[in-house]
Homo-oligomer: A and B are copies of this chain.
């Protein structure tokens, strides 16, 4: 049986252990929700203060040029691209994941209109809902006979990919289960059937190795406020394979995507390349802080991050099963490494109340319908001992039954 001493010994050997010093984590908190909202890099407060007091307060309008605000989406995109297997000028940080998905979907649909019978968009019923909602919004808007085909498992996914399919839209790592697709194999499968792929990397970027170009993916979107520690609601990103960028101008064609935005031309002329996926003026304070998280992530070797992520998720599963084995917990996350992202989920019949009890004790994970306790494992700021300590609190809550209080059953919270 594992002991806490074993965890401390593993921490002593951890090549990423020092990264924790680059983040602010409140006293008394074991934070297992970095896949929902990452923690602040220590540089974030100063960066934010500089944006407000210096760049805005002193530079005022001049900072669009002198502080590089106008170039931020592309400059941050190039940094982020290094974590995605993207080349320069393939990524912009902008808008929200939902909106970027709409842009990618519009572009993919338009490219596929060369094959007019392709009127199906395939996704998973278990995908993060906003992805499905944006597809539904697009279909309803177009009124061109598009339909959404939802699959429930890998087998039905293969069956769903027939010659009517225009686009396959999947999350690389599932928000609830943590299950991860083989991006290259799945993209190849879609391409064999003539479909284009859109990958939602919300729960993957910064957490697992990615190589979009090697996988020959077509489009990808994702967010920066989870494993990339960009701050609450920090702007999202979109990657478009270079071969597709100039084939269509996406319909959210605001002035930031214009070829010469300050000519004030009444006709839209898209910029060449990824800049045409920009739309309007970006929230600079939130956007600028994204760089703080990226700068930390870029210091880490992604192979080491992945190795530690798997070690910690293995450890978490093993400890829960060893120490909470008599309680009705069911592992939702794949055991197979190749199919696991960087969070671990267990079902419990009273999952909501158990999570509230954990949060009350400072072990912050989150709850997702139905019955799912979800624990984000962030290798840059969690240790093996943190995992041990978190499982000990879970064990105590379950052994004592202390989760079963009225306060822990109240669903007032919105997230």
Contact = CB atoms under 8 A, between A and B. Distances in A.
Given A37-B61, A45-B49, A129-B266, 7 more contacts: A24-B53, A44-B52, A65-B412, A132-B267, A133-B255, A137-B268, A286-B287
A283 B253 contact: no
A252 B64 CA distance: 28
Interface in A126-171: 127-130, 132-134, 136-138, 140-144, 150
Contacts of A106: 141
Contact of A133 (B232, B254, B283): B254
Given A137-B253, A264-B368, A236 B280 contact: yes
8 contacts: A39-B60, A52-B231, A98-B280, A129-B266, A132-B268, A133-B253, A232-B283, A285-B285
Interface stretch (A28-36, A297-305, A322-330, A388-396): A28-36
Contacts of A37: 56, 60-61, 64
Given A40-B57, A45-B53, A284-B286, A129 B265 contact: yes
A38 to B, nearest CB: 9
A187 interface: no
Nearest to A40: B57
Contacts of A143: 144
A129 B119 CA distance: 33
A232 B268 contact: no
Contact of A48 (B49, B249, B369): B49
A373 interface: no
A61 B362 CA distance: 12
A287 B283 CA distance: 8
A235 B285 CA distance: 11
A68 B33 CA distance: 18
Task: Point out which of A33, A95, A127, A130 has the most chain B C-beta atoms below 10 A from its C-beta.
Answer: A130
Interface residues of A, number: 97
Task: Point out which of A55, A257, A280 has the most chain B C-beta atoms below 10 A from its C-beta.
Answer: A280
Contacts of A287: 233, 283, 286
Nearest to A234: B283
A97 to B, nearest CB: 6
B33 A60 contact: yes
A69 to B, nearest CB: 6
Contacts of A335: none
A285 B235 CA distance: 11
B231 A285 contact: yes
Interface of A: 24, 26, 29, 31, 33, 36-37, 39-40, 44-45, 48-49, 51-53, 55-58, 60-65, 69-70, 95-99, 102, 106, 125, 127-130, 132-134, 136-138, 140-144, 150, 176, 223, 225, 231-236, 249-255, 257-258, 261-268, 279-287, 289, 359, 364, 366, 368-369, 412-415
B98 A99 contact: no
A301 to B, nearest CB: 26
Contact of A364 (B26, B39, B62, B69): B62
B232 A280 contact: no
Task: Point out which of A51, A63, A132, A252 has the most chain B C-beta atoms below 10 A from its C-beta.
Answer: A252
A140 B251 contact: yes
A225 B281 contact: yes
A257 B36 CA distance: 19
A352 to B, nearest CB: 11
Contacts of A364: 60-62
Nearest to A72: B233
10 cross-chain pairs, A with B, having the tightest CB-CB distances, nearest first = A96-B280, A283-B286, A98-B254, A137-B253, A98-B280, A232-B284, A141-B251, A130-B255, A137-B251, A64-B415
A360 to B, nearest CB: 11
A262 B36 contact: no
A414 B70 contact: yes
Task: Point out which of A33, A60, A144, A284 has the most chain B C-beta atoms below 10 A from its C-beta.
Answer: A60
